[in-house]
């Protein structure tokens, strides 16, 4: 089979036909799309396919290699699970946009040139904002606007950077770019916004917790991992990424401890996990890149699973706030169990997926002697146990009983969570099978006695610290509140600056207007007073004073004449 049909179109064109189906048939049709695309990917040979000549450039719509295939597989898997998770809601707008969004992310992954990457990049932005707006209402509208501004900004940087890159190199090919010149910097910023680099990150914890359970599950899989894919493709071994990534692992965990909305906790947690991947890409060795993309794969599953469980809680109780929840294990035992599997996976407990993927990044950092980085990642790993490993399941399902009694999650949600949970455990137990689809062949062995014991000590004693602080009452309670992040600058400071500037301009305008007003009034007053019979303008002048004035004018004229 040739690979000349872009796989993305199976989902994107397929999405357009979703409204034609009803009920069970629609569900079956939507599940068929990612399955068909997956079977197609299995049959396509490696290489450059679907090449189009445009503007003297060759656009490649299907670059098939191990890196693009890995992300293709996981994106299709995420689309499949999201569709199962969405079946109870039967919201056709959500399903169509979700499918287009997934398709365009897959298109971007297989794009072999910067122009087609840019086009797909923009489609992910526009389709995903419709998911942010899926909850509808005024607040959702404002959140979506802030979200889309960041996404479109990323597209602008990619466009300008890509054009400059084309001018500099004469080629649109999307390969290793690196931080060479301003074009590389622009493209890095474009990828950095999608990957939630510090100070470009706030769109993520702002938007993801504010939409519907289904939309969040779609959103959490694609945009950020597309950013990670693009970084791995274009900026592997860029040292600056090591430090950016290290920062990303460390700062969000402080927010995650004190955040009340559990889906926002997961959003901060996501930035923390992205940090590990960015570090791996920055190190750039084969082990590190393998670790980064493997962790992206695992994260889509366990983070998706955690968002699914919190989405189920939101659906059933109407809230995902820690301060309102507790004791739900009595009503939702299956959701509780699946959530705990996700929590164990993200915490990187042995036998769960995070353990076999994150440890590659840690080992790569240690092997290259990055001491500070390694210590920070170890600290961040302990932090993950706190906010994702314990806080999420504990405050939602255990803690003090909130008295809330609800139904278990809908069956389709449970099926989606069960599959995700099974894959998290499967990857953890059979790492070698999983490692075989990574970009570089590896003989990495995560399960050595030394590594397992070290990891268990780190994780269990981090947990112990949490339990001790909870039992002694020192642990900060869940409070109905929000926390200021960098969005404060554009939601509070910038509007305040604009308001002050506007007042200032109005003030100056006011002073000017007053001055103009009183000036004209003064002239009118003077001229009308002097127009009285005895006024300056109306009185009769003696002839001699007239002659005197004429003489003065002539003298002045002569003076100017000679001086000139």
Decide: is 87 part of the binding site for another protein (CB under 8 A).
no
C-beta of 160 vs 378, nearer to another protein: 378
- Tell me if 277 sits within 8 A of 228, measured CB to CB: yes
Quick one: which segment of 152-160, 193-201, 337-345, 479-487 binds another protein (CB under 8 A)?
479-487
Q: How far apart are the first and last CA of the chain?
A: 93
Determine the Cα–Cα distance for residues 491 and 142; give it in Å rounded to an integer. 11
C-beta of 239 vs 401, nearer to another protein: 401
Residue 249 Cβ vs another protein, minimum distance, rounded to whole Å? 12
Place of tokens 């961040």: 380
Decide: is 398 part of the binding site for another protein (CB under 8 A).
yes
User: What is the pattern of x (binds another protein, CB under 8 A) and - over residues 286-325?
Assistant: ----------------------------------------
Residue 489 Cβ vs another protein, minimum distance, rounded to whole Å? 12
Quick one: which segment of 240-248, 282-290, 422-430, 464-472 binds another protein (CB under 8 A)?
464-472
The torsion angles phi and psi of 24, rounded to 5 degrees, stand at -60, -40
C-beta of 17 vs 470, nearer to another protein: 470
Of residues 98, 80, 99, 206, the one with CA closest to residue 151: 206
Q: Which residues share a beta bridge with 54?
A: 57
Residue 71 Cβ vs another protein, minimum distance, rounded to whole Å? 29
Quick one: which segment of 17-25, 289-297, 368-376, 511-519 binds another protein (CB under 8 A)?
368-376
C-beta of 401 vs 530, nearer to another protein: 401
C-beta of 13 vs 482, nearer to another protein: 482
For the residues of 401-443, what is the DSSP string, one character each? ------PPPPHHHHHHHHHHHHHHHHHHH-HHHHHTTSSS---
For the residues of 250-270, what is the DSSP string, one character each? HHHHHHHHH--BHHHHHHHHH
Determine the Cα–Cα distance for residues 36 and 41; give it in Å rounded to an integer. 9
The torsion angles phi and psi of 259, rounded to 5 degrees, stand at -75, 140
Quick one: which segment of 32-40, 51-59, 181-189, 371-379 binds another protein (CB under 8 A)?
371-379
**Interface pick for another protein out of 84, 275, 466, 478 (rule CB under 8 A):** 466
The dihedral through the CA atoms of 388, 390, 396, 402 has a sign that is: negative
Decide: is 509 part of the binding site for another protein (CB under 8 A).
no
C-beta of 183 vs 359, nearer to another protein: 359
Residue 208 Cβ vs another protein, minimum distance, rounded to whole Å? 17
Determine the Cα–Cα distance for residues 388 and 407; give it in Å rounded to an integer. 24
Quick one: which segment of 238-246, 344-352, 382-390, 407-415 binds another protein (CB under 8 A)?
382-390
Residue 256 Cβ vs another protein, minimum distance, rounded to whole Å? 8
Q: Is 54 helix (H, G, I), strand (E, B) or coil?
A: strand
**Interface pick for another protein out of 21, 243, 447, 475 (rule CB under 8 A):** 475
User: What is the pattern of x (binds another protein, CB under 8 A) and - over residues 399-418?
Assistant: --x-----------------
Burial class of residue 98 in the structure, from the number of CB atoms within 10 Å of its CB (0-12 exposed, 13-18 middle, 19+ buried): buried
**Interface pick for another protein out of 45, 407, 436, 448 (rule CB under 8 A):** 448
Of residues 104, 96, 112, the one with CA closest to residue 3: 112
C-beta of 401 vs 432, nearer to another protein: 401
- Name the helix (H) or strand (E) containing 52: strand 47-54
Decide: is 464 part of the binding site for another protein (CB under 8 A).
yes
**Interface pick for another protein out of 28, 240, 372, 469 (rule CB under 8 A):** 469
Decide: is 481 part of the binding site for another protein (CB under 8 A).
yes
Decide: is 459 part of the binding site for another protein (CB under 8 A).
yes
**Interface pick for another protein out of 484, 504, 548, 551 (rule CB under 8 A):** 484
User: 3-state SS of 67-98?
Assistant: HHHHHHHHHHHHHHHHHHHHCCCCCHHHHHHH
- Tell me if 194 sits within 8 A of 226, measured CB to CB: yes
Determine the Cα–Cα distance for residues 508 and 502; give it in Å rounded to an integer. 10
Binding site for another protein (CB under 8 A): 139, 253-255, 257-258, 329-330, 363, 366-367, 369, 371, 374, 378-379, 382-383, 385-386, 398, 401, 448-451, 453-469, 471, 474-476, 479-485, 491-492
């Amino acid at each position: 089979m040739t690979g000349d049909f872009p796989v993305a179109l199976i989902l994107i064109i397929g999405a357009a036909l979703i409204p034609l189906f009803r009920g069970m048939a629609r569900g079956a049709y939507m599940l068929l799309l990612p399955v068909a695309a997956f079977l197609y990917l299995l049959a396509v040979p490696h290489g450059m396919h679907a090449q189009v000549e445009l503007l003297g450039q060759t656009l490649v719509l299907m670059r098939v290699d191990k890196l693009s295939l890995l992300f293709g597989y996981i994106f299709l898997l995420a689309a499949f699970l999201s569709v199962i998770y969405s079946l109870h809601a039967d919201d056709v707008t959500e399903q169509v946009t979700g499918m287009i969004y997934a398709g365009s992310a897959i298109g971007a992954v297989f794009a072999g040139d910067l122009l087609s990457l840019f086009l797909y990049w923009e489609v992910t932005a526009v389709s995903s904002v419709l998911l942010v707006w899926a909850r509808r209402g005024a607040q959702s509208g404002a959140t979506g606007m802030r979200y889309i501004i960041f996404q479109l900004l990323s597209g602008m940087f990619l466009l300008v950077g890509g054009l400059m890159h084309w001018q500099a190199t004469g080629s649109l090919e999307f390969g290793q770019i690196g931080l060479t010149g301003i074009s590389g910097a622009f493209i890095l910023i474009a990828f950095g916004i999608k990957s939630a680099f510090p100070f470009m990150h706030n769109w993520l914890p702002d938007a993801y917790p504010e939409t519907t359970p289904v939309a969040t599950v779609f959103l959490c899989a694609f945009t950020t991992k597309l950013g990670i894919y693009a970084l791995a493709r274009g900026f592997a071994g860029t040292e600056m990424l090591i430090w950016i990534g290290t920062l990303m692992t460390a700062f969000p965990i402080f927010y995650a401890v004190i955040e009340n909305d559990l889906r926002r906790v997961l959003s901060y947690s996501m930035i923390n996990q992205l940090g590990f991947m960015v570090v791996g890409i920055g190190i750039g060795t084969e082990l590190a890149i393998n670790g980064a993309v493997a962790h992206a794969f695992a994260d889509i599953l366990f983070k998706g699973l955690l968002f699914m469980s919190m989405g189920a809680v939101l659906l059933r109780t109407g809230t995902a706030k820690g301060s309102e929840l507790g004791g739900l294990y009595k009503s939702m035992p299956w959701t509780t169990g699946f959530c705990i599997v996700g929590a164990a996976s993200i915490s990187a407990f042995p036998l769960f997926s995070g353990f076999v993927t994150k440890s590659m990044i840690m080992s790569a950092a240690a092997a290259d002697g990055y001491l500070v980085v390694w210590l920070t990642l170890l600290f961040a790993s302990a932090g993950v146990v706190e906010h994702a490993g314990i806080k999420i399941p504990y405050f939602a399902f255990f803690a003090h009983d909130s008295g809330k009694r609800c139904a278990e999650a809908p069956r389709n949600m449970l099926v989606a969570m069960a599959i995700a949970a099974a894959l998290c455990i499967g990857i953890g137990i059979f790492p070698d099978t999983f490692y075989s689809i990574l970009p570089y062949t590896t003989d990495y062995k995560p399960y050595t006695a030394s590594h397992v014991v070290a990891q268990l000590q780190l994780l269990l004693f981090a947990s112990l610290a949490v339990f001790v602080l909870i039992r002694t009452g020192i642990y900060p309670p869940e409070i109905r509140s929000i926390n200021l992040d960098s969005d404060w600058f554009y939601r509070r400071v910038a509007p305040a600056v604009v308001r002050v500037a506007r007042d200032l301009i109005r003030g100056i305008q006011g002073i000017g207007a007053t001055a103009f007003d009183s000036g004209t009034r003064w002239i009118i007053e003077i001229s009308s007073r002097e127009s009285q019979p005895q006024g300056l303008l109306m009185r009769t002048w003696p002839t001699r004073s007239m002659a005197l004035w004429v003489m003065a004018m002539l003298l002045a004229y002569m003076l100017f004449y000679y001086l000139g």
